[in-house]
Structure 1
Amino acid sequence: MRSTRRTLLACLAAVATLVSVSACGGGGSGSSGSSAGSGTYTFWDPYPQFDASSDWGRRVARCGTEAGVTVKRTGYDTTDLGNKALLAAQQGNAPDVMLVDNPVVSTLVEAGILNKTSDLGLDTSAMQQNIIGAGTLNGASYGVPIGANTLAIYYNKKILTASGVDPASVKDWASLTAALKKVAAAGKKGITFSAINTEEGSFQFLPWFWGAGADLTDLDSAQAVAALTLWKQWVDAGYAPKDVLQNTQTTSWQEFATGEYAFAENGTWQLANAEKAGFEYGVVGIPGQHGGAAPVPTGGEFVTVPVQQDTARYDVSKKIVTCLTSSENLLASDTALTYVAPTAAVQARQVAANPKLRPWVEAVAAARGRTSGGLGTKYPVISQPLWTAVQSALSGGSSPKDALATAQTAAGKAKG
């Protein structure tokens, strides 16, 4: 029991470092262990912005009705949701069904509070492998994704035209830097992104880190140094503003929305804001150092079923999960949340309805989970030194090489 308590406390610390990077929001009380086939089932999600009258709120309620029960849904802030889930498990009153941010899945699994989808009989065969990979540990999946969001590069068509830049020419780091040089020569501002000292900073740096061929287990590799050097060169040359050090993804977007910047690295969740920006925009994928699509990190949530003392409740919980992740509900949910669906069939329907989603579907196809590749709960203790290194290098506190060497040492100590 002491061992379990220590694990839960350690996991609480890990969850605290994983902040949602894409604006979400979910809460509630644990299950009562009453009659399994009827009564009330609790559902927690990270969407406090959606009340019971919202499309999402009604969809969750309807899935409960179809399963023959009433669903009591609560929305918490993403970080608060992870912490409350761990505490609820410790107290033996976890919710019946829970929607959680994908990096948190591995933390909850380590704490021993999530069921395997295979044990529940949930079919995940149609899910895109790199999307479900964010919730897979040691070959077993512990939840069903409802969709994914990720990063790409928005561009201002008017500025690129005035600067003589063809967005189709942006195919690698050299061509993107050349485009930024043309934009600067035309008297315009270059690119804005978030390099803040939180998970958002790591999230935005990862496409460049991975796009250079770097690996999160080797933070000071030559490839990692190349990625951080690229960002530093942009800041030093004035192609990116110095305030990227303080920018969240929201404030970075606000800079782009002024119409003064040629490019912005940001997420799928800004599409609705892009439509309201007042200028023509386009989207290109983040390029790898030498071309091709850079791997981008997946955002998005997984529907999970926490461990219950009354295992008879799982049958109804499974019905709720199956309902929420049906093709029709995925299409409705992901369209409303501006997510790319986790299945090819629903993705095709999304693009048919909104062709502007095509580059995002392509970006998600190249994406990978932050906790994938066996990292699991090691990711938070790698991410924090990584964003610290980015801050140190961009502020001029140390060279990219030295900053990443310090990060690698810190990550090794934290893991070991």
Structure 2
Amino acid sequence: MTFPSVRRGLTAATALTLTACLITACSSDSGGEKTQAATEYTVWDPYPQFDASSDWVKLLTTCGTDAGVTVKRTGYDTTDLTNKALLAAQQDNSPDVLIVDNPVVSTLAEAGVLTTTDEVKTDTSAISPNLLAAGQLGGKTYGVPIGANTLALYYNKKVLDAAKVDPATVKDWASLTAALDKVKAAGKKGITFSAIGTEEGSFQFLPWFWGSGANLTQLDSAQGVAALTLWTDWVKKGLAPNSVLNNTQTTSWQEFATGDFAFSENGTWQLANAKKTGFEYGIIPIPSQAGGTAPAPTGGEFVTAPVQSDTAKYATTQKLIACLTSADNALTTDTTLSYVAATDAVQQKQVAANPELKVWVEAVAAAKGRTSDDLGTKYPKISQPLWTAFQAALSGSKQPQQALTDAQSAAAK
């Protein structure tokens, strides 16, 4: 399990090009007929790592049997999956159920590929609104989240004990920075994170950006500058290593796993690796500037229903989606994927089974989708200038204010 957007990331330029092609019907092969039998329903997902023996594929088979149909499942890498979904829609050959990374939903919805949950009659009433928002565009909902992962701070108890830092005292930016100062004074390293110039870096910056009160529609606000200044000052003072400029979340984790760092910003997908470090660790939410839990971005997939020329199929599609996202099945699936469930009822079951997940449930409750606030397909055009800005500031080529002013100008274009 790795970072959702990078592990199965969408290439924005490719998606937009294919979207334009879809809208203008530029392919000559647009009259293809579906070849599947009426009793065979196709499911495409971004989990090529799961084979027929996996719990996930067994669940798909069971859901098909319960609905009275045979499920034909294909797993793709997300880049391939997004492109194939766009082209299949153009040829009227879409799968019946499509499971995609949450930032992709708005791209497919804008291109006219997906039905709404109202059309398929999918019940979303139990879904946490902040998670559901990642699949909404223009006031309509285009799918159901399987679950979510997000970011928090792992800490090394031995390092904090040596520096006489109680992790429970880390409640805001000031107390976190004070803790890092103590750790450095004790001869250890402070915090590691990913500030690489990709969507992965933006994903890691967003808790600090949103935690300042900043909004993605105004990158160079005073709040946004405060967030970037925080990161920049940590690197200048040696509280964070220069390697953050090139760190992915994987290499950042590898730094933390050496045992030299006090904190690591990372996700739920590192829980299994945390148990392998050989040292005692803990997890706390990422603090916002003024205190409380910062909104971190959500990762995870949505179960969607692509548009079909035969709308009579939607009734069975709805049964498949309801089965895949039911409380009992979601518990097993989210455990397999290291996700926090999308409903309160299943989250409570997860915490009862594994108390370590309590902090992650709290983090997910405060989290938000990158395409939320009705940003939709505008988000990639904002994220790239944002990562360009923090790369410039952390490398010292620009001051935080100038870096974000330039980023806002680029995003506005």
TM-score, normalised to structure 1's length?
0.91
Contact 2:18/2:87, CA 8 A, preserved across alignment: no
Describe the shift of the 1:15–1:280 C-alpha distance in structure 2 as closer, same or farther (beyond 3 A): farther
Q: State the shift of 1:31 in Å.
A: 8.6
Aligned CA distance change for structure 1 residues 11 and 89 (closer, same or farther; 3 Å):
farther
- In the TM superposition, 1:3-402 aligns within 5 A as 12-13=15-16, 32=34, 34-36=36-38, 38=39, 40-402=40-402
C-alpha displacement of 1:139 = 2.2
8 Å contact from structure 1 (residues 14, 107) kept in 2: no
Counterpart CA distance in 2 for 1:411 and 1:202 is: 14
Q: 1-side partners of 2:272 and 2:113: how far apart?
A: 36
Structure 1: 4+ residue segments shifted above 6 A: none
Q: Secondary structure at the match of 1:308?
A: coil
The one-letter code sitting in structure 2 at the alignment partner of 1:315 is A
- Which deviations, in whole Å up to 9, do the C-alpha atoms of 1:351-379 show, x marking residues without a partner? 00000000000000101111111111110
Q: Offset of 1:79 from its aligned partner? A: 2.3
Aligned identity (percent) is: 70
Kept after mapping to 2: 8 A contact 1:41/1:70: yes
3-state DSSP of counterpart to 1:356: helix
Q: Distance in 1 between matches of 2:392 and 2:369?
A: 25
* Residue-by-residue CA offset, 1:368-405 (whole Å, 9 max, x unaligned): 11111111111010001001101111011111111101
Work out whether residues 31 and 96 of structure 1, in 8 Å CA contact, stay in contact via their aligned partners in 2.
no
Q: Partner letter of residue 13 of structure 1? A: L
After superposition, the Cα gap between the structure-2 partners of 1:410 and 1:336, relative to the gap in structure 1 and judged at 3 Å, is: same
**What displacement does 1:252 show?**
0.8
Structure-2 separation of matches of 1:174 and 1:299:
28
Asked if structure 2 preserves the Cα contact closer than 8 Å seen for 1:190 and 1:240, the reply is yes
Matched AA of 1:320: L
Relative to 1, partners in 2 of residues 1:59 and 1:31: Cα closer, same or farther, differing over 3 Å? farther
1:10 positional shift: 6.8
Deviates more, 1:392-401 or 1:136-145: 136-145
Between the aligned partners of 1:64 and 1:236, the Cα distance in structure 2 is: 56
- 1:88 Cα deviation from its structure 2 partner: 1.5
Question: In the aligned structure 2, how far is the partner of 1:394 from the partner of 1:90?
Answer: 43
Figure out how many residues of one structure are paired with residues of the other and give that number: 390
Q: TM-score if structure 2 supplies the norm length?
A: 0.92
In structure 1, distance between residues paired with 2:61 and 2:257? 36
Deviations 1:173-210 (A, max 9, x none): 01000000000001101111001111111000000000
The one-letter amino acid of 1:78's match is T
Distance in structure 2 (CA, Å) of the matches to 1:125 and 1:231: 39
Counterpart residue identity of residue 34, structure 2 = S
- Is the CA contact 1:117–1:143 (under 8 Å) kept in the aligned structure 2? yes
Contact 1:173-1:291 at 8 Å conserved across structures = yes
User: Residue type matched to 1:350 in 2?
Assistant: Q
Q: Specify every segment of 5 or more residues in structure 2 that has no aligned partner in the other structure, as ranges.
A: 1-11, 20-31
CA contact (8 A) 1:199 1:383 kept: yes
CA contact (8 A) 2:94 2:306 kept: yes
Equivalent residue letter for 1:41: Y
Aligned-residue offset at 1:14: 7.8
Q: Secondary structure at the match of 2:340?
A: coil
> For residue 24 of structure 2, what is the aligned residue in structure 1?
none
For the 8 Å contact 1:99–1:302, the answer to whether it is kept is: yes
Kept in 1, the 8 Å contact 2:18–2:86? The answer is no
Letter in 1 for 2:15: L
SS at match of 2:224: helix
CA-atom RMSD in angstroms? 1.6
Contact 1:11–1:86 at 8 Å: present in 2 too? no
Task: Supply the distance in 2 between the matched residues of 1:408 and 1:14 (Cα, whole angstroms).
Answer: 24
Q: In structure 2, do the counterparts of structure 1 residues 251 and 13 end up closer, same or farther at CA, with 3 Å as the change threshold?
A: farther
- The one-letter amino acid paired with 2:90 is Q
Superimposed CA distance per residue, residues 144-173 of structure 1 (whole angstroms, 9 cap, x where no aligned partner): 111010000000001000111000010000
Letter in 1 for 2:136: T
